[in-house]
Amino acid sequence: MFRIPLLVALALCVAFGVGIVSTVSALKATVGFGAIALGPWVAFPDAQTANTDPYAKAHRARAGKLLYGGAEGLQFTASIDSDGQKLSSGCSYDITGVTPPARFWTLYATNANDQPMKTDPALPGAINAWTVLRQPDSSFIIHVSPVAEPDNWLAVRRIGAFKLVLTLLDTPTAGSSGLIDLAMPKIVKTGCPDA
Amino acid sequence: MRSVLFAILVGLVGAALLHIVIVLALPQFTGKDAYSRVLGLYEMDSFFALGNEPGTTGLANEDPFLRVAVCGFSVSSGPARFLAKGSVPFWSLSIYDADSNEIFSMNDHTAVNGNLDLVMATPIQLVDLRKTPPESLAQSIMVEMPDEEGYAVLRALAPTDSFQEPARNFLAESSCEPFRR
């Protein structure tokens, strides 16, 4: 007697459950299509424009961030290291290499939800193109670690997974199509010190 | 048994439809998008310098070296003019419409004399401004605004602590006002 209503209820449950879960997970998983990935670094040069895809529009409406315009800069985010493993703040990493041409760059860490990591203000929680110490060939090595390191140290707190954000300001990278040739710094795990 | 499978199949088709509808409709009703947050500051027609901690609207200086100011504006009653000058190593400005689509962006190297002087106007207002150009707009960049409402984001770079003061002053002295002849 209740067969038909039960089947209708089942269909509705599947529709709403799968529909909502798939949408939320899709919007959480990525900013949209049109990503450029250079090693572990990912950027979305068109995410702020009108001709981006509907996923990017929905994502930016949910996140509510002030995005960078084309002439302002391009923001790269890394949530994995160069070996493809998730970044964990229990471990130390070395960021080595050079950035693509840009007038300026900044590097800082965020938590897994893209909120800036609150490090102790006395510790170096961010590094930029002026404050970084360079090798003679102008490349650099930045030690990302929860414990103090000599030379360039980017302090992180032990909060589990985290992301690194590298912002290139006034860069031709944003409008260039030959992105594959551009070199981004590598992120290499150097060890996981005990807590 | 077959009817249960059929119900699940119908449910999956409905889920796909719902997925598409939610993704397409989401920008209209989140209430958390950048334009709603800028309006939530209750500061129209002036640049509002954001703090380092997210306020009630959730907007903050995310990059530790960039100080950000936002301004919601409307060109419905007249063009909007953006002015800023000062000595910061880098500044940049983006104009977005109410749907957070980028309309225009520039930085200090693309500006005249390194100073910000920009007029946003509707196509009709632009025709009017070009027919009889006011003396004060001789150096201004004029950009067409497809919609009536939008917001501007002004960023000033402070690479070291000693630049915090100039960057703060740069944002404090910038203006975002309706233009009157």
Query: What pLDDT was estimated at residue B94?
Result: 94
Is a pLDDT exceeding 90 seen at residue A173?
A: no
Nearest to A120 by CA among A94, A88, A158, A152: A158
Alpha helix ranges (H) inside chain B: 2-29, 34-39, 123-131, 164-173
Is a pLDDT exceeding 70 seen at residue A95?
A: yes
The tokens describing A151, both together, are: 């030379």
Question: Which of A13, A72, A123 has the most B C-beta neighbours within 10 Å, making it the best mutation to test the interface with B?
Answer: A72
- Complex ipTM value: 0.86
Beta strand B80-84 with B91-97 is unpaired
Task: Report d(CA A122, CA B61) in Å as an integer.
Answer: 18
The pTM is what? 0.88
The tokens describing A16, both together, are: 């709403």
Is a pLDDT exceeding 80 seen at residue A18?
A: yes
Nearest to A189 by CA among A96, A105, A115: A96
Nearest residue in B to A32, CA atom? B23
Task: Report d(CA A192, CA A35) in Å as an integer.
Answer: 30
Band the pLDDT of B30: cuts 50, 70, 90: confident
Instruction: Give the number of A-B residue pairs with CB atoms closer than 8 Å.
Output: 176
Query: What pLDDT was estimated at residue A179?
Result: 52
Is a pLDDT exceeding 80 seen at residue A180?
A: no
CB-CB contact of A64 with A154 (8 Å): no
Taking residues A107-125, report their average pLDDT: 88
The tokens describing B174, both together, are: 């910038």
B131: Cβ–Cβ under 8 A, 6 or more apart, which residues? none
By residue count, chain B amounts to 181
Residues of chain B with Cβ-Cβ distance to A66 below 8 Å are 34, 59, 62, 68, 70, 153
Question: Which of B50, B71, B105, B106 has the most A C-beta neighbours within 10 Å, making it the best mutation to test the interface with A?
Answer: B105
Band the pLDDT of B159: cuts 50, 70, 90: very high
Contact state of A170 with B109 under an 8 Å Cβ cutoff: yes
Contact state of A62 with B30 under an 8 Å Cβ cutoff: yes
